[in-house]
Every structure is written in C-alpha cells, then in structure tokens.
Copies of this chain bind each other. A is one copy, B any other.
C-alpha cells in the first residue's frame, strides 16, 4: 500500500488508485464530494465530536450513503487529511514550476508556507486533523505526506544551493514548524498570534 503507487497528485476526485475502482457513477461521485465538503464544515464547527449523522444531514444524504463511501468515521477523516496534503503538495510543485531563479526559491517557499497557513487558519477541520487527530490517522496519509515532503525538499534544495536557507534545513523541519504554527492558531492567550509565530518559523529557516 505504500511505495509502489504513483500518488496521482492533485487529483482530488480520483480515489487512491492501486485498487480496482470502477469509476464512480456521476451521482455517486457528486455525493462523495458533497460528503467530504460537509465533513470539512461540520468538523470545523464541532471538532472531534462531530457526528456522522451531522455530516450526512449537512450533505443532505442518508448516513448509509456516507458509510458507502467511507467505511469508517476515521476513513473519512483520513481522506480529509489526504486531500489537504495533496493540495499543499500541489502548491509546492506549482511554486517549483514557476520558479525561474534559485535566488527566488526561499521567497517561493515562504509564499507557500504563508498560503498554507492561511488555508489552515480558515479551516478548523484541517487544524483539527493536523493537531488533534490521532496518529493512526496521520499514518494512513503517509503517501501524501511523503509526496508533500519530497516536493518541499525540492524547493528547499534549490534554496539551499542558493544559500537562502540554513544549511541543515530539511523538509521535515518545514513540516514540524508548520505543524507548530498551526497548533497555536486556535489558542487565545495574551500575546499569542499565529502570524507572528509563522514569521518566527520562517526566520528559523533562514541562514544565520
């Protein structure tokens, strides 16, 4: 289930290949989308204790339909995480494609980080899965993570060779730092401000 498959990045709709998936009927696919979208909203509102029934109701679909598409509540959350990682990977690759000059690579990385942070900030569901979701959920999104990592690594490599990041920076550092930033997003405490946290994180990556 891990290494063999080409992770077909960015194709949100195409469900993880490798298994025989006769393409979904048009309405089924539409339902799938609706469910995912609803899940995102409902989790955003209710956090962990969102109920499948709520998701179903929000998607105007019976619970059974949700379960037809996602055998488990967890599976649904996993898919949410995967989608997000795919999106982030896409952004990284996009940045890479548009990158004309290694000197701009760090700026590009920064931009991606900022954009991803904004996305996360406005999506409580995402924040929830990134910070609170159990490890087992992360584990099931390993492929997407790796894809994201390697896209990031590439960007980082370019920056490194241009001397724009600290020499020991790794893509996993970017991941950890971003996780950290996201973890302070909901927090209300005097002085807490995730945008500042983000700037600190970006700063951390800079060469000394």
With a cutoff of 8 Å between Cβ atoms, the chain B residues found around residue A138 in the complex are 187-189
Does the CB pair B200–A173 fall under 8 Å?
yes
Say yes or no for A31: interface residue by CB 8 A criterion. Answer: no
Instruction: Tell me the A154-184 residues at the B interface (CB within 8 Å).
Output: 170-173, 175-177, 179-184
Across the A-B interface, the 10 shortest Cβ-Cβ residue pairs: A180-B180, A172-B191, A183-B183, A132-B133, A131-B132, A132-B132, A176-B197, A128-B132, A204-B204, A176-B184
Does the CB pair B127–A132 fall under 8 Å?
yes
Give the segment of A14-22, A44-52, A90-98, A101-109 that binds chain B: A44-52
Does the CB pair A196–B176 fall under 8 Å?
yes
With a cutoff of 8 Å between Cβ atoms, the chain B residues found around residue A172 in the complex are 189-193
15 further interface pairs, Cβ-Cβ under 8 Å (given A2-B46, A145-B190, A208-B208): A5-B53, A47-B132, A47-B133, A127-B132, A128-B133, A132-B132, A142-B189, A149-B189, A172-B191, A175-B189, A175-B192, A176-B187, A176-B200, A179-B187, A183-B183
Say yes or no for A139: interface residue by CB 8 A criterion. Answer: yes
Q: List the number of copies, as a whole number.
A: 4
Does the CB pair B189–A145 fall under 8 Å?
yes
- Name the residue of chain B whose CB is nearest to the CB of A4: B57
Say yes or no for A26: interface residue by CB 8 A criterion. Answer: no
